[in-house]
């Protein structure tokens, strides 16, 4: 099961809510996963379509909690390509009209009938906004595994639905982007902190904990990688410097012999030849008497300068 499916499965098991939140979550489902059919007599039929059985159970649960049904909804199971299943929940025209009126999508036309229009009602309650986000995510949302990347998106059939969700996200303090993809409108979030806040708003507590654990593991892994790379770079620089020091000492040995050096430099030169991979601090600890790292570095610079003054030997 994908991470997105696990989040939806958790959201689908949340307990019943207040009537206003039930309507708000149904609104998110209607805007994200509904199919509306208009007949010649201005009758509207509403259907919910999804590939997730948990989402379909949630839609049916919300429909039953929204009020008394005029007729029992029809649940159809369709098989698509590659054996994928798609669930379709069809509502009666009477129940469709009731839901759309509650969502502000059907209004009197002044001639004794009703007309279909976009909802103008603004959700003023924070709980209803959270419910609407939950319904939208269940309907057409996707969230990538936070162990790989931070990304959530909602795919809508038109820009009006996408803009409405983007406005609700903004009212909840979440900034989202809006783009288009293959004639569809896509709302997206690509920030770990905002995704964690989104999960909290929707009520996915277990998914929040899972995401925070993944973020902690990812952060620890990045810190470990940086430390390893830093140690590797330091070791590489140390070995490169040691190799240059050995070459300089060997050059001095060929030209004048190490015995010609002052005793303090001779001891360090012989110790470096014997310990080519040791650090300067380690070399200082091996000398008798011991010498600090800065003292070893100063004497090594004297050896390097002396080597540079010697002429090249030709064979």
Provide the b/e sequence for 281-295 (b: ≥16 CB within 10 Å): eebbebeeeebeeee
- pLDDT tens for 162-194 read 998 999 999 999 999 999 998 899 999 999 899
State the pLDDT at residue 315. Answer: 43
Query: Residue 242: pLDDT above 50?
Result: yes
Query: Residue 205: pLDDT above 70?
Result: yes
State the pLDDT at residue 190. Answer: 93
CATH code that applies to domain 3-203 = 3.10.28.10
Q: ∠ CA 104-135-177 to the nearest 5 degrees?
A: 95
Q: How far apart are CA 253 and CA 307, in angstroms?
A: 10
Instruction: Give ranges for CATH 3.10.28.10 in the chain.
Output: 3-203
Query: Residue 122: pLDDT above 80?
Result: no
- pLDDT tens for 3-46 read 899 999 999 998 867 888 888 898 888 888 766 665 555 567 78
Count of all residues that appear for the chain in the document: 315
CB atoms within 10 A of CB 103: 16
Q: How are the residues of the chain apportioned to helix, strand and coil, as percentages rounded to the nearest 5?
A: 55, 15, 25
In this structure, what DSSP letter does residue 279 have? -
Integer angstrom CA distances of residue 145 from 7, 134, 167: 10, 18, 25
Q: What is the residue whose two structure tokens read 């798609």?
A: 86
Provide the b/e sequence for 57-81 (b: ≥16 CB within 10 Å): ebbebbbebbeeeeeebeeeeeeee
């Amino acid at each position: 099961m994908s991470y997105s499916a696990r989040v939806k499965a958790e959201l689908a098991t949340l307990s019943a809510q207040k009537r206003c939140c039930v309507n708000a979550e149904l609104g998110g489902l209607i805007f994200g996963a509904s199919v509306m059919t208009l007949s010649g007599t201005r009758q509207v039929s509403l259907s919910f379509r999804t590939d997730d059985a948990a989402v379909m159970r949630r839609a049916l649960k919300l429909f039953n909690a929204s009020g008394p049904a005029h007729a029992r909804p029809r649940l159809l199971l369709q098989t698509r390509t590659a054996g994928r299943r798609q669930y379709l929940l069809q509502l009666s025209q009477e129940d469709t009209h009731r839901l759309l009126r509650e969502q502000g999508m059907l209004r009197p036309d002044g001639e004794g009938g009703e007309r279909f229009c976009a909802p103008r009602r603004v959700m003023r309650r924070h709980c209803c906004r959270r419910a609407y986000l939950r319904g939208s995510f269940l309907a057409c949302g996707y969230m990538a595994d936070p162990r790989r990347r931070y990304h959530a998106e909602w795919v809508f059939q038109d820009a009006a639905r996408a803009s409405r969700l983007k406005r609700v996200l903004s009212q909840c303090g979440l900034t989202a982007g809006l783009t288009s993809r293959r004639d569809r409108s896509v709302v997206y979030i690509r920030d770990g902190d905002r995704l964690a806040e989104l999960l909290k708003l929707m009520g996915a507590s277990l998914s929040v904990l899972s995401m925070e654990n993944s973020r902690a593991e990812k952060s620890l892994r990045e810190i470990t990688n940086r430390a390893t790379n830093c140690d590797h770079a330091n070791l590489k620089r140390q070995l490169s410097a040691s190799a240059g020091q050995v070459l300089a000492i060997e050059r001095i040995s060929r030209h004048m012999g190490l015995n010609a050096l002052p005793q303090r430099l001779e001891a360090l030169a012989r110790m470096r030849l014997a310990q080519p991979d040791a650090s300067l601090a380690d070399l200082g600890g091996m000398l008798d008497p011991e010498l600090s790292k800065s003292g070893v570095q100063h004497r090594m610079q004297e050896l390097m300068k002396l080597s540079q003054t010697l002429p090249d030997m030709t064979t």
